[in-house]
Amino acid sequence: MKRTGAEIILDSLVAHGVHTVFGYPGGACLPLYDALYHYQDRINHILVRHEQGAAFAADGYARASADVGVCIATSGPGVTNLVTGIAGAHMDSVPVVALTGQVPRNLLGTDGFQETDATGVMLPITKHNWLVMNAEELPRVMEEAFHIANTGRKGPVQVDVPKDVFLEEVEFDNFPPPNIPGYNPDEGMQPDPTLVREAAEVIHGSEKPIILAGHGIHYSGAYEELLAFAEKANIPVITTLHGVSSFPESHDLSFGMVGMHGNIYANWAVDRADLLISLGMRFDDRVTGRLEDFATEARIIHVDIDPAEIGKNVNTDVGIVADLKPTIRALIDEIDQLDHSPWVKQICQWREDHPSLAIRETEIVLPQWVIRQIYHITNGEAVVVTDVGQAQMWAAQHFWYDRRNTFFSSGGLGAMGYAFPASIGVKYARPNEQVWCIIGDGGFQMTLQDLAVVKEHNIDVKIAIINNNHLGMIRQWQTLFYDSRFMSAKLENPDFVKLAEAYGLPGLRASTKSDVVKVLKEAEEIPGPVVLDLVVDEVEKVYPMVPAGSSLAETIEGDEVEEARYA
């Protein structure tokens, strides 16, 4: 039968179970939107107010659903506005298909209106991309796009389509199965049994092991396996930022997060371990601190689906390239019931002596106290989407995550403005769950225009602005490492309550502890989106902290950080 290029693309979305897409129309992709008019009973299009929000929302949708997120933009500025969101998805291995319009084929290379080398721009920040010059290619390309995005180490792809290719009519029967020479991610799914036995021998010889759980636990769905493995081997579990909510934090073997703002006892445990069992994480600098002094006494077992990660940043004793779920199962079968009680007791003692998450008693509204109140009022059952900076770290530290895959953030790229549009995507992926967007006043002002989106669709996201009237992490670093020479850290903010009301949304403000509790409860009772302006202490810093250029052993808890110097 005859189908246009645009219809083939939309048929592909339907075939892959895509029911919600996020986008912004423009001249080059108008034929796709015209076709989309006839698919509204199958595909829900969310008109964001900036293309960057489309990419962030698709990213949030993908993380929360385990499906592929889809975003749409036009040529030129539409594509370039996607870049930050796609780069973030690439850094965090999030499966996103970006559909972009391009100028008609006869204008390519002529510097036509809104022409940009879109695939060239996207090349370094996608797993793969295509400039489709013939509609007959689209069935194959769309199958390859979804296959590449959602297999192996996941990530974003881009399909760039000239305007006239959307309109081109071709014969179409079905979508061919993907056949990509040289790309065989299934071959790496099962672990090498020899390496599993080798890893088990190393584990049996360890007295002070640590499990480092990363983002891969979520993608593999290896929650039960991680729990069973930790309990059988009696090994403490510490997570990366993206590993938060992969292991129940109320468990006796949970010791929180490692890294620049990790718990001091977690950092000490990693520093002094004789074995790190690293599962689906990549040893980035925010985890390791000064690399040459990272876990110098430890042997390292590293399991990751991407062979490029093994040995990239740290030397590995046993490297296993495989999916985590079958690998951990194989390890469970291979190891004996173990007892590391003295080591666990040692870390517990460090935690008792250095309680990183204790909040000091004061009438000042401390931001970490506000996060704790959100935890209490939601009974710890909310899905939390955070931005970047201080609010991100407090949300990771002080909202305790027992439920799986309930913490989302822009980790690798660290993109401010991520949390609000991403929370929209998360809500569409999990419509029956409470979704809280925890964001700073700086980050919120980068993408607040999507207040119009949550109003238009009555998207029930609670937006908690942790408002310290500053770019808080900038102020913190300028205080600690630039002798308090504050430059462009102070923000002159709008009235966020009036802003919410201007978009037709309820806005609530609190600047005392009693009012914080009151407005949080009130927000919970409102059936729809709410903007909360939670005014907190302006100078509070995030601790613990590993100063840049320092090692995990040099983690500092508080005031002594003043003696540290930027390296």
Task: List active site positions.
Answer: 51, 113-114, 163, 473
How many angstroms separate the CA atoms of 420 and 208, rounded?
A: 41
Say which DSSP state 177 is in: P
Inter-helix orientation angle 138-149/5-15, to 10°: 30
User: How far from 31 is each of 102, 115, 494, CA to CA, in Å?
Assistant: 11, 17, 39
Sheet holding 237-239, edge to edge: 254-257, 237-239, 209-213, 275-279, 299-304, 318-321
Which helix (H) or strand (E) segment is 162 a member of?
A: strand 157-162
CA distances from residue 404 to 206, 257, 351, 384 in whole angstroms, order as listed: 29, 15, 24, 12
Could you tell me if 541 and 260 are in contact, meaning their C-beta atoms sit under 8 angstroms apart?
A: no
Phi (first) and psi of residue 173, to 5 degrees: -110, -55
- Residues whose CB falls within 8 Å of the CB of residue 525, separated by 6 or more in sequence, listed in order: none
Instruction: Name residues whose C-beta falls within 8 Å of residue 355's C-beta, 6 or more positions apart in sequence.
Output: none
121 Cβ contact partners less than 8 Å away, ≥ 6 residues apart: 79, 80, 83
CA distances from 539 to 194, 308, 416, 534, 551 (A): 54, 41, 20, 15, 25
Query: Half-sphere exposure of residue 41, counting CA atoms within 13 Å on the CB side?
Result: 1
Distance CA 159, CA 8 (A): 13
Element (DSSP H or E) covering residue 520:
helix 513-525
Strand-pairing partners, residue 560, are none
Question: How many Å is the maximal CA-CA distance in the chain?
Answer: 73
Helix runs in 432-495, H state only: 441-447, 451-457, 472-481
- Pair of tokens at residue 393: 């770290």
Query: What is the distance of C-alpha 460 from the center of its chain?
Result: 20
